[in-house]
Amino acid sequence: MSLVVNLVLLVFLLVMALAVLKTRHLFAMAMLFGLYSLLVAGLFVVLDAPDVAFTEAAVGTGISTVLMLVTLASIKDGHELISTQKSRTAPLIICVLMGGLLIYGTHDIAELGEVESAPHTQVAARYIGKGKEETGVPNLVTAVLASYRGFDTLGEVTVVLTAGIGVLMLLGSRKKIRIRKVSNGK
Amino acid sequence: MANDLILRVITKWLSPIIILFALYVQFHGDYSPGGGFQAGVIFSSAILLYSLTYGLDAALQLIPEYILRIGASLGVLIYGGVGVASMILGGNFLNYSVLGSTPVAGQHLGIIIIELGVGITVASVMVLLFFTFARRVAPE
């Protein structure tokens, strides 16, 4: 059953990626990226990672799609991608090389659920064995994120705040500067 | 989109449910999947839906921007404050065990409070990002 679900999700993921490549309309592209994230969230659920799936569905499908659409809406024209006649051999070579390197890199990743792999033999055993006893929290992911790795999470929250401050400093001026003046039409 | 009756009605019904779900994810995060980050994003998506349907001005009336700025900083302050509080009570920074009567109770309390801080910051920053971008959209 899991195989069928995986297969369907992965095939649709591939279809979505090709559709993003094929489409010339940037609004459609933003929506397709949202769908892509939703499929990835589905894959995370199949991999028994509902916490990550939650985040992927909410951030990837919801927030970032809306942000992309708003960014597109604030630009009056330029919603179509203009294809140029430039040679495409150099990008193709770079992509193939990069893809080859990534596939080569996957050989060093331990098998899914491999007990002997490094992360499972070090701290994870302690978290799984003692986590509920030490923190009183049944959801192990929350226990690890909030308690054992409290410092990391503090850093993450600070990063979110810093990103917000950065955007506010760049775009938050009260004067409402338009990205582009409306020259034709109105 | 502001004049679409179906969208307006659906949004009116859906927003409270999304916010309720966000609160569930926030405070039930130690028993079921979820936590502060997810809850914050879900909460902000309710506000985003509202402002997409009813317009930015209505959403700004609902949550003024200065509240979001305060919220974004307040969350990090709560998180850091728990760390400092645990230092004052004699533990290490962010060691929640000293917060309660027993180490486990302290851990549980600390986790709930810092998750709340994470949720407040993430929700505020996400809505703030959207408002900042949306303000640049020229009126039609």
Domain ranges of chain A: 1-73, 85-186
**What is the rounded CA–CA span in Å between residue B64 and residue A26?**
31
Residue B2 has pLDDT above 50, yes or no: yes
- Are A29 and A18 in contact, with CB atoms under 8 Å apart? no
pLDDT for res A93: 94
Does some domain include residue B87? Answer: yes
Sequence-ordered list of residues with C-beta below 8 angstroms from that of A100, at least 6 positions apart, any chain: none
| Residue B27: domain span | 5-134
Residues of B in Cβ contact (< 8 Å) with A176: 135-136
SS3 B100: coil
SS3 A183: coil
pLDDT for res B139: 67
pLDDT for res A36: 93
Q: Does B129 touch chain A (CB under 8 A)?
A: yes
Residue B100 has pLDDT above 70, yes or no: yes
pLDDT for res A183: 52
Does some domain include residue B140? Answer: no
Q: Give per-residue pLDDT as tens, A118-134.
A: 777 777 778 888 888 88
Residue identified by tokens 């809505």 is B127
Residues of B in Cβ contact (< 8 Å) with A51: 33-35, 38
Does some domain include residue B139? Answer: no
Residue identified by tokens 């990205």 is A179
Residues of B in Cβ contact (< 8 Å) with A54: 25, 33-34, 38
**What is the rounded CA–CA span in Å between residue B24 and residue B20?**
6
Q: Give per-residue pLDDT as tens, A96-114.
A: 999 999 999 988 887 777 7
Determine which of A157-161, A172-176, B98-102, B115-119 has the lowest per-residue pLDDT on average: A172-176
Reading the block at residue B6, the tokens are 């179906």
- Are B79 and B94 in contact, with CB atoms under 8 Å apart? no
Q: Does B76 touch chain A (CB under 8 A)?
A: yes
Extract the runs of DSSP E, i.e. beta strands, from A4-150: none
**What is the rounded CA–CA span in Å between residue B121 and residue B71?**
6
Name the H helices within A79-143.
89-105, 118-121, 123-135, 140-142
- DSSP of B63-88: S-HHHHHHHHHHHHHHHHHHHHHHHH
pLDDT for res A74: 82
Count the residues in chain B. 140
Reading the block at residue B105, the tokens are 């109770």
* Amino acid at residue number A148: Y
Q: Does B83 touch chain A (CB under 8 A)?
A: yes
Give me the average pLDDT of each 10-residue run along chain A (186 residues): 88 92 88 93 90 90 90 78 76 94 88 75 80 82 86 92 92 63 50
**What is the rounded CA–CA span in Å between residue A65 and residue A62?**
6
Which among B32, B47, B125 is the top mutation candidate for probing chain A, defined by the most A β-carbons within 10 Å of its own β-carbon? B125
* Amino acid at residue number B116: L
pLDDT band at B128 (very low <50, low <70, confident <90, very high): very high
Q: What is the nearest CA distance from A183 to chain B, expressed in angstroms?
A: 13
Q: Give per-residue pLDDT as tens, B17-54.
A: 999 999 999 998 888 888 889 999 999 999 999 998 98
pLDDT for res A185: 46
pTM: 0.84
Question: Count of domains in chain B?
Answer: 1
User: What burial class does residue B8 get, using C-beta atoms within 10 Å of its C-beta: 0-12 exposed, 13-18 middle, 19+ buried?
Assistant: middle
**What is the rounded CA–CA span in Å between residue A144 and residue A153?**
10
User: What burial class does residue A117 get, using C-beta atoms within 10 Å of its C-beta: 0-12 exposed, 13-18 middle, 19+ buried?
Assistant: middle
- Are B10 and B1 in contact, with CB atoms under 8 Å apart? no
* Amino acid at residue number A154: L
